[in-house]
Amino acid sequence: MRAMAARRSSEALTLKQWAALSADAEGELVDGRLVEEELPTREHEQTVAWLCTRLLTFLEERGGAVLTSDHKYGVGPKRGRKPDLSVVLPGRPRLDPKDNLTTVPPDIMIEVITATPKDHARDRIDKVHEYARFGVRWYWLVDPAAQTVEVLKLGPKRRYVNFAAASGGTFKVPGCRGLELDLDALWRYARR
């Protein structure tokens, strides 16, 4: 925490400097400044784990990839984000496993919403604009408290349009032909 507090109050960082920070220096980069990440709840983490397991099981044998929240994306010249999950679909070139900063958008970025107003606004407002400008084709907003999954699709002029929403039953994942998620099972697991 001291490393982050010291960095937050000091000089602006470049994307490369942010990417090179040690693992104990948590935070995302906003306008060159290190900002606090959300403090995930157990429900948040269980939602991420459930989604990661299902996505990875489906995509691994097909040549896709799933990355977790420690992977850093340079989404703009002075902005770096660490989505809860990101997905590279089959058929796309693999990311270099040695890179600590990716400047090529994945196909899907997933944020699991937490209940705090600051985090809620970051996921629903700030990241919507940033991920669209970055060129992420699909942006998922998963809200375990409301038990909803919203999928936004990148449209013309790099703006998202609402594409799908669900709260229960079987959810056919847009962009991942053949992948279905049992949302009732997800919510049960998230609430354990």
Tell me if 92 is assigned to some domain. Answer: yes
Strands 79-81 and 73-76: antiparallel
Neighbours of 31 (CB within 10 A): 10
Distance CA 29, CA 23 (A): 14
Q: Of how many residues is the chain composed?
A: 192
Tell me if 7 is assigned to some domain. Answer: no
Considering the entire predicted model, what is its pTM?
Answer: 0.91
Tell me if 111 is assigned to some domain. Answer: yes
pLDDT tens, 145-186?
999 999 999 999 999 999 999 999 999 999 888 999 999 999
Structural domain that includes position 185: 40-190
In degrees and rounded to multiples of 5, residue 153 shows phi and psi of: -115, 140
- How many domains, the chain? 1
Q: From start to end of 63-147, where are the E strands?
A: 65-68, 73-76, 79-81, 85-88, 108-112, 138-143
* CATH number for the domain harbouring residue 142: 3.90.1570.10
Please give the pLDDT value at position 5: 44
Helix (H, G, I), strand (E, B) or coil at 31: coil
DSSP β-bridge partners for residue 165: 150
Tell me if 65 is assigned to some domain. Answer: yes
Tell me if 168 is assigned to some domain. Answer: yes
